[in-house]
Structures are given as structure tokens and as C-alpha cells.
Structure 1
């Protein structure tokens, strides 16, 4: 991946908005889907090429993309487990609770923790919160639905 830090964005006709990356020290720190281009953003980044291919139907797990998660440890554990859900599969919040070490599907507070981690996911798409069919996504709802459609969910 490109080691240059900065903001990178490219328009996606499929999403009808931009895909924007924040990168620091070669790691992705944010993914967002703004409706307007950030004037400081560059359009040239290898990951944007991959995302564009993904949105056109190419299978990509993005598992090799280095991510710097700046979230509390308990949320990080949830998001790291979510990254294990394969392309084209979806799960429920309860399944994600059960997959995450230290969480109990019988505890409502653990369900709340998972929902909060999903809603505050700093890198939607790379950590595929759109694969949790009954949970919130950090991506805007129209983007979440299109990401689900790309994977046939």
C-alpha cells in the first residue's frame, strides 16, 4: 500500500458519492462516503483502485490492508472479529457477539457494545459492517445497501 499520508478520494458513480480514505504512516485510519470532494484530497491511491474494482463486482476481502484502529479495546475486538466474515456472507449482531472473545450472547450490554462498535466503525467497507444484517453501519444507509448488493446480500 502507498506509504504516503493524507486524504484520498475518488468519485464512485455506483455509490453516487465519493469514497474517501484517511491514511497515516501507510495505514488506513478512516473511510467515509462524502457527497462532496474534499479540496485537499488526492485521487491517486492504490486502495481507491481496488475499491473501484470491488464496487464493479470484483471479489476483494481487503484483508491485506493495514488499518490503524483508534477505538476502545472492547470495540477493536468486535471489529477485528467482523473482519473475519468472508465476502458474500452475512451474520447477525448475536452471531458477532458470540464470535467475539469475552462477550456473551445472553448479555444485553454485550449486544449494545457490538452495536456501538458497528456504528462507530472508522473504516466501513474495510471492516465490513454491511455484512451484519441487523446491525447499524457506519456507512450512510444508501451506501450500506449498495455494498450489500455488491456482495449479493
Structure 2
């Protein structure tokens, strides 16, 4: 049996001092990230990405840009989320700036809605770091504040 097979698919979660992080993994790609109040009973806790999250929460710099993610979102939203992955560790950008980076017109209402929807519906926050964008993302605000605080120190 492949030693990595146990981490290629499943639900993995771990409680940390400041939050719980839950990962959904399929075919070796992260398909979902959430921050529940408690670790689900059916979640395994042993996954290399959770080890990296632990190091990140302990203050280690990690951009997570090498983490394979599966973005099953419309093409326009995908371009927004791919642009978010390029926001440097420790920096924040406005929604308007992100729209421009992703090739959208922040003055156009439909374009702005596309950008905001992509952020709110981001299936893999932290690995697509919407906490680095000012405004509303999929990362709960208390967790986003924690991540921004870690990255600013």
C-alpha cells in the first residue's frame, strides 16, 4: 500500500489553540477548507497539510502556494481565486486592486459582484488566502484576523 494513500482522500481536522481547521481532500487535492467550532467525529487528524497549518499558526511563514487545490468554480471566479493566491504573505489588497489584478473592472457592477462572489464562495480559504483581501471572504472574520495578525508579525 502506498504510504501516502491514507492522506490522498478524506476529511481531516485538527484543533489548534485559536481555531479548528478542517480539510476535504480528494485525489491528493484540497477541495474544501472550513473552520468549524469542533473537530468532526469522523475526521482523521493525521495529514501533512495539518502539520504545515500547525507550523503556520506557530508563526512559521508559509504562503501555501504550492498546495494542490481543486477549484470547482465558474471560470470567472477561478481567475479571481488564482489572483488571490498571488497576494504575497503578510500583505493585504483591496477588492478593487484584486479585481484589477484578476483582469476585471472594479467600477463595473457585474465585475465587482463576480469578484465579491468568488471571495465569499472560496472553497479553500487559507490555501487561497482570502484573508489577505480587505472585505468579506469565506474565512470567518475571527479566523481572518488571526491569520492577518500572524502574517504581520
SS at match of 2:13: strand
Could you tell me which residue of structure 2 aligns to residue 5 of structure 1? 9
Match of 1:82 among 72, 81, 84: 84
Shift of 1:91: 0.3
Q: 1:2 to 1:60 in 2, by over 3 A?
A: farther
C-alpha distance in structure 1 between counterparts of 2:11 and 2:25, whole Å = 6
In the TM superposition, what is the alpha-carbon distance from 1:2 to its structure 2 partner?
6.9
Aligned positions of 1:100-111 closer than 5 A? 100-101=102-103, 103-111=104-112
Confirm whether residue 139 of structure 1 aligns to residue 139 of structure 2: yes
| Residues 2 and 26, structure 1, Cα contact 8 Å, conserved in 2 | no
User: Where does the alignment leave 5 or more consecutive residues of structure 1 unmatched?
Assistant: none
Give the TM-score taking structure 1 as reference length.
0.92
How far apart, CA to CA, are the structure 1 residues paired with 2:7 and 2:71? 17
Please list, as runs of the form range in 1=range in 2, the aligned pairs for 1:3-152 lying within 5 A after superposition. 3-15=7-19, 18-101=20-103, 103-133=104-134, 135-152=135-152
Q: Residue 3 of structure 1 contacts residue 25 of structure 1 at CA under 8 Å; is this kept in 2?
A: no
Q: Which consecutive residues of structure 2, in runs of 5 or more, have no partner in the other structure?
A: none
| Displaced runs of 4 or more, over 3 A | none
Question: What root-mean-square deviation, in Å, do the aligned CA atoms of Structure 1 and Structure 2 show?
Answer: 1.5
Provide the aligned length of Structure 1 versus Structure 2.
149
After TM superposition, the score normalised by the length of structure 2 is 0.92
How many Å apart are 1:4 and its aligned residue?
2.0
Preserved contact between residue 2 and residue 46 of structure 1 (Cα < 8 Å): no
Give the whole-Å Cα distance in 1 for the aligned partners of 2:68 and 2:6. Answer: 11
